[in-house]
Chains A and B, each alone.
Chain A
């Protein structure tokens, strides 16, 4: 029997990060903790990087894989999912469900050939304005290092 030779997967060359390039990041946040945490950052004037756009939902449990995948499809370079700390969910256990959904999403995202570091799950409470800013800065820097998403531009309606 002849062994089936599988083609070695071509190693992807590390992406060239254009100079002064800034990532596009979609942040999904629950109404009660993370969105409120971002507001708290505002009230306390804690400055952070501006390359993200918030989408508010009532609970992190609402954030389904389809939302995250659509964001990547349309050209997002990173997606942050955030909700209340465990035990603090406004809807008892929505954030526990969010973890399950997030794990699924992460699998699909990596299957698509995207780096795992482009997607992140964080718990941020309404009081943690400083933490919100810190997470945004960290994540933005992390995605910036990865460079533009290989999918960016593919799914757009018009170039």
Chain B
């Protein structure tokens, strides 16, 4: 909706790209716009045509579970809201006939054959919709149009398709009616979906008693798709919970899984909740087949419970297949046209899967979301913003400054003179309500000086009439009784603003969406309701105040805190767009975790970290970004557009910035004596193993007999005690014959961090592969293998192929490291074998999780008032809609400061943060919405309730006199929710545009006339 309304976004729907020439910054893209047979400029989305249409087709949005007409709106919130005719189903367009049949028909109709592409017989056998349409929007003569656009960059966001579960015959999808896909279940669970939120068995429409979810259908090996689809585990957990909450009749839900990949922020806690609430039984196993029981259409699933060590036959009434994501059919074609590559599966290929999530193989063309492979929504949104940041590099100079139109404000003072316009909306309103009577009722309300109806108030004719009306009657309050203010208020406000009529003196009354459309059968009551709503609208309008949007100047510069890979990327993207950027790094070098000796190579393609870092740092240094090393941020005050930053350390100064990107990263968990860490020399963390890889590289081969150098190897490591042999050390892996990795150290542990750290599974596997290739017997002790990043599942397979042993440890079980002076073996319960095992080992590697970096996290939390989540990481404003933003406007998050993630995701988030920051910096002023709360200093008693309550920390107590405190609300921070107004004990706070007086007047008007108090 927002995109559809944005003045700078053109949505060309029902279209495809057919050509792309040129170079980055100067592409010419050819687009073929397919005919929709409904004119966008005329259609008012009333839906009369749908009622008239006699032809029924399958509804794609409800995955065929529901029917739709041949003329339809793809789904209720579609943009544009215009209807479209399915040429394959429409009787007029006859798309369902073959070319030959159409020609024959045309001959009968004696229609000359035109160009083949252009040819359409249009026999007009039906035409019900065009007769029904009141605004003549239906146009059967519409033809496909070609258009050319000149663009600087191209973003590909073609998404994915559902894997066709029919390809896996053993699950019986398509053969047995009660085997459905997760998407079909999703449509059933949706309150506005096919069954209004009830789960039913398609065979008899009864509520299933026993449900079984089968995970990884078409993913992780089956049907030739080795990758993991990322979202299905959580989706199944969520759906199982929804089903149980919604339908108590569903007695039993079983989820058959391979690994539970709850890798995202808060996902593990969610799964735990599901286990605690017993909303589902989890069985680890992949079913061999699903059998059909003919008597009652129920099903039986054959599965080996790999943890219970038994063969099971699970009966079910409904089986849900959590189907994998497959590449979009059209992705290959799009890739061909754009000249970019696809990967082996048919997804759009990334230039470098280890570092960049959004770059395709061609410069100037970027990709976002599941077009590169399955993604979860937060990652999709972050990548989309990241892609926008990269694309913006080619658009500098095209930045659109807002036009400064100055219209003299009209004089609207004096007692209220209300003008009411009642909209017919064709027959949408007028078909149910008597609009003329509504207008005459409105005319009798005190202070109403003019009331009239209009066929379509939102049309340009309607808008012109509104302007005339205002001028004719010297109106100073406008009430529009039409549709919902959520979509149409901006249109009317704009019209008002154009003539200098303060847009906040307009009130909309919703008599369509919330009256005529939903009370069609009850005309008398609906009419009464509409009258009351209009009275209420007029009552509010009387008390409306003209409001002026405030403005404060924007400091058009950005601050990036933290010089790791996230900070480097964010600073680069901002500086390359031409914004002054200051990057503050506490240490003496850039790179953070990527710098030597923290990380040697990156998964999945083993690219040397140093090379990646050099590339990124060079790129940063080629911009004008100011890099302050050995410097810390001492203090930040102010608000969006006007932050004031004070630094300490090597560079001490105070400067203004408009937006701040926090990229201080995370810390790695420091084991405290667990697993013998710190006492046994050959127990390392995963990071220390990376150090060893560097040591190995530096080691001189052939000098290995030296006993002291051997001691420095990881086999008998003493580095922490300070002994370190210089330069000529032997390979640290010289004496290592076997190695064991222990995963989830400090993650998924309620005592440290209950979430998943995401990066450790693929990192451990990468390291295991490196060791296995050196001939070391490697064992990985894991809880769930969560190889969710691109290419990681393939790495997992490679590791298994190399003989790396994977031992699953049950939840709650602690792996035991045995040995007195050095670790000699690892002992634990093998969940899959069902007995205790002991693995001799020369080296133990602890894959440590991430945790919030302290004291930075707490310091910035105090300074900026941005919230911190329960897990201690910074909290994003919304996990799906705003994963980059904090609740504090102008403060953005990049990388692991927001939660554990790997390098690809960090880089994507950093670019996204840059994009979000540039949205603020693009303007030289910050526009302040006038719908805010204001404090009456005379009434305020300085109790501070509002200060405590505001989630945006907009309130502040200031000393107005000696010992006298009053609250002040900062208009730049206030979002206008009005919560403080409802809590203020002394009634000192006015919530503009929703004042007590206005709401009271509305209540009074409901029950007759307004009571003047």
Known: A35-B486, A156-B1008. A93 touches B951 (CB 8 A): yes
Q: Which residues of B contact A129 (CB under 8 A)?
A: 191-192
Assess whether A94 is interfacial by the CB under 8 Å rule: yes
The proximity string for B residues 925-936 relative to A, scoring 1 for CB distances below 8 Å and 0 otherwise, is 000000100000
The B966-1013 residues at the A interface (CB cut-off 8 A) are 975-979, 981-983, 991, 994, 996, 999-1000, 1002-1004, 1006-1009, 1011
Q: Does B637 contact A (CB under 8 A)?
A: no
CB of A62 within 8 A of CB of B981, answer yes
Residues of chain B in range 497-529 having any CB-CB distance to chain A below 8 Å:
510, 512-515, 517-522, 525-526, 528-529
Q: Is B807 in the interface zone, CB < 8 Å from A? A: no
Q: Does B245 contact A (CB under 8 A)?
A: no
Of chain B, the residue at the smallest CB distance from A153 is B1007
Residues of B within 8 A of A67 (CB): 996, 999-1000, 1003
B76 touches A44 (CB 8 A): yes
Is A51 part of the binding interface, using a Cβ–Cβ cutoff of 8 Å? yes
- B1007 touching A127, Cβ below 8 Å: no
Query: Is A47 touching B191 in the complex (CB atoms < 8 A)?
Result: no
Pick the residue among B522, B533, B951, B1004 that contacts A91 (CB under 8 A). Answer: B951
Q: Is A146 an interface residue (CB 8 A)?
A: no
Q: Number of A interface residues at 8 Å Cβ cutoff, please give it.
A: 54
Q: A56 to chain B: which residues have CB within 8 Å?
A: 485
Q: B1008 and A157: CB pair below 8 A?
A: yes
In the assembled complex, how far is the CB of residue B824 from the closest CB belonging to chain A, in whole angstroms?
Answer: 49
Name the interface residues of A121-152: CB closer than 8 Å to any CB of B. 127-131, 133
Cα(A41)–Cα(B1006), bound, Å: 22
Which of B510, B521, B977 sits near A58, CB closer than 8 Å?
A: B977
Is B532 interfacial (CB-CB < 8 Å)?
yes
Other-chain residue from B192, B877, B979, B1011 in contact with A44 (beta carbon distance below 8 A): B192
Q: Which of B192, B532, B1004 contacts A74 (CB 8 A)?
A: B1004
Q: Does B197 contact A (CB under 8 A)?
A: yes
- Whether A58 lies near B976 (C-beta < 8 A) is yes
**Complex partner residue of A47 from B519, B533, B1007, CB under 8 angstroms:** B519
* With contact pairs A50-B515, A50-B529 given, residues A71 and B977 touching in the complex (Cβ less than 8 Å): no
Q: Once the chains bind, are B525 and A50 in contact (CB under 8 Å)?
A: yes
* Complex contact B518–A48 (CB within 8 A): yes
A24 to B528, CA, bound (A): 11
A58 to chain B, nearest CB (A): 5
Interface residues of A in 32-87 (CB under 8 A from B): 35-36, 38-51, 53-59, 61-64, 66-67, 70-71, 74-76
When distances are taken between beta carbons in the complex, the residues of chain B under 8 Å from A55 are: 536, 999, 1002-1003
In the complex, the answer to whether B513 meets A92 with C-beta atoms within 8 Å is no
Check B518 against A45 for contact (C-beta < 8 Å). Answer: yes
Provide the residues of chain A in CB contact with B1002, threshold 8 Å. 55
B979 touches A97 (CB 8 A): yes
A61 touches B978 (CB 8 A): yes
Q: Are B525 and A54 in contact (CB under 8 A)?
A: no
Alpha-carbon distance A39/B482, docked complex (angstroms): 12
Q: Are A45 and B520 in contact, CB atoms less than 8 angstroms apart?
A: yes
Could you say which of B76, B982, B999, B1006 contacts A43, with CB atoms under 8 Å apart?
B76
**CB of A20 to closest CB in B, whole Å:** 11
CB of B887 closer than 8 Å to a CB of A? yes
Residue of A nearest to B1010 (CB): A157
Q: Per a CB cutoff under 8 Å, which of A64, A66, A94, A131 touches B191?
A: A131
How many Å from the CB of B325 to the closest CB on chain A?
A: 23
Please state if B536 and A53 are interface contacts (CB–CB under 8 Å): yes
- Could you tell me if B190 and A50 are in contact, using CB atoms closer than 8 angstroms? no
- CB of B288 closer than 8 Å to a CB of A: no
B979: chain A residues at CB < 8 Å are 59, 61-62, 91, 94, 97
Residues B994 and A47 in contact, CB atoms below 8 Å apart: no
Contact B486 A36 (CB under 8 A): yes
A42 touches B517 (CB 8 A): yes
Does B949 interact with chain A (Cβ within 8 Å)? yes
Residues A62 and B982 in contact in the complex (CB < 8 Å), given A35-B486, A45-B517:
yes
Q: Are B1004 and A43 in contact (CB under 8 A)?
A: no
Given contacts A53-B529, A157-B1009, contact A46 B518 (CB under 8 A): yes
Is A53 a contact partner of B1006 (Cβ separation < 8 A)? yes
Contact yes or no, A50 B526, CB < 8 A: yes
Question: Across the interface, do B514 and A54 meet the contact criterion of CB distance under 8 Å?
Answer: yes
Chain B 517-559 against A: per-residue CB contact (8 Å), 1 yes, 0 no? 1111110011011001100100000000000000000000000
Within the complex, the shortest CB–CB distance from A122 to chain B, in Å, comes to 13
A47 contacts B196, C-beta separation under 8 Å: no
Least CB distance from A40 to B in Å reads 6
Contacting residue for B991 out of A62, A71, A97, A101, CB 8 A: A62
Bound-state Cα–Cα, A38 to B511, Å: 12
What B residues does A22 contact at CB under 8 A? 525
- CB-based contact B192/A62 at 8 Å: no
Could you tell me if A40 and B1006 are in contact, using CB atoms closer than 8 angstroms?
Answer: no
Nearest CB of chain A from residue B743's CB, rounded to whole Å: 30
Residues of B within 8 A of A42 (CB): 484, 512-514, 517-518
Complex contacts, B975 vs chain A, CB 8 Å: 91
Cβ of B192 and Cβ of A127 under 8 Å apart?
yes
Residue of A nearest to B81 (CB): A43
Contacting pair A54 B510 (CB below 8 A) = yes
Q: Are A43 and B513 in contact (CB under 8 A)?
A: yes
Q: Which positions 930-953 of chain B face chain A at CB distance < 8 Å?
A: 931, 949, 951-952
Cβ-closest chain B residue relative to A68: B1003
A12 surroundings in chain B (CB, below 8 A): none
Chain A min CB distance to B490 (Å): 13
Query: What is the CB-to-nearest-CB distance from B77 to chain A, in angstroms, rounded to a whole number?
Result: 8
Known contacts A56-B485, A58-B931, A59-B979; is A50 also within 8 Å of B519 by CB? yes
Q: Are A43 and B191 neighbours in the complex by a CB distance under 8 Å?
A: no
Query: Which residues of the other chain, A, contact B981 by a CB distance below 8 angstroms?
Result: 62, 64
- Chain A min CB distance to B46 (Å): 11
Q: Point out the residues of chain A lying under 8 angstroms from B521, CB to CB.
A: 47
Bound-state CA distance A45–B521 (Å) is 11
Task: From known contacts A62-B977, A64-B982, A92-B951, infer whether A74 and B1007 are also in contact, taking CB-CB under 8 Å.
Answer: yes
CA distance A62 to B999 in the complex (A): 11
Interface set, chain B 10-37, CB cutoff 8 A to A: none
The interface residues of chain B lying within 8 Å CB-to-CB of A62 are 977-979, 981-982, 991, 994
Please state if A58 and B978 are interface contacts (CB–CB under 8 Å).
yes
Contacts of B515 in A (CB 8 A): 50
Q: How far is the CB of B104 from chain A (nearest CB, A)?
A: 41
Give the residues in chain B near A94, CB-CB below 8 Å.
951, 977, 979
Closest to A124 in B: B191
Which of the residues A24, A41, A91 comes within 8 Å of B977, measured between beta carbons?
A91
- Do A76 and B514 touch (CB < 8 A)? no
Query: Closest chain A residue to B76 by CB distance?
Result: A43
The yes or no answer to A158 lying at the interface (CB within 8 A) is yes
Pick from A36, A57, A158: contact of B1008, CB below 8 A.
A158
Smallest Cβ distance from B5 to chain A, in angstroms? 15
User: How far in angstroms is the closest Cβ of chain A from B855?
Assistant: 25
Q: Which residues of B contact A41 (CB under 8 A)?
A: 513-514, 518
Assess whether A26 is interfacial by the CB under 8 Å rule.
yes
Contact with A along B772-813 (1 / 0, CB 8 A): 000000000000000000000000000000000000000000
Determine the chain B residues whose CB is within 8 A of the CB of A90 once the complex forms. 977
Bound Cα distance from A91 to B528, whole angstroms: 34
Q: How far is the CA of A141 from the CA of B751 in the complex (A)?
A: 50
Given contacts A62-B978, A130-B197, whether A158 and B994 have CB atoms under 8 Å apart is no
27 A–B contacts from the bound complex (CB under 8 Å)? A26-B1006, A35-B484, A39-B510, A39-B514, A41-B513, A41-B514, A49-B519, A50-B525, A51-B529, A54-B514, A55-B536, A58-B931, A58-B977, A58-B991, A61-B977, A61-B978, A62-B978, A62-B979, A62-B991, A64-B982, A70-B1000, A71-B1003, A91-B977, A130-B191, A130-B192, A131-B197, A158-B1009
Given contacts A42-B513, A58-B976, 13 further A-B contacts (CB under 8 A): A39-B513, A43-B513, A44-B76, A44-B192, A50-B522, A53-B529, A58-B994, A61-B978, A62-B978, A62-B979, A62-B991, A127-B190, A127-B192
The 9 closest A-B pairs by CB, nearest first: A61-B979, A42-B513, A62-B978, A64-B982, A59-B977, A91-B977, A92-B951, A50-B519, A42-B517
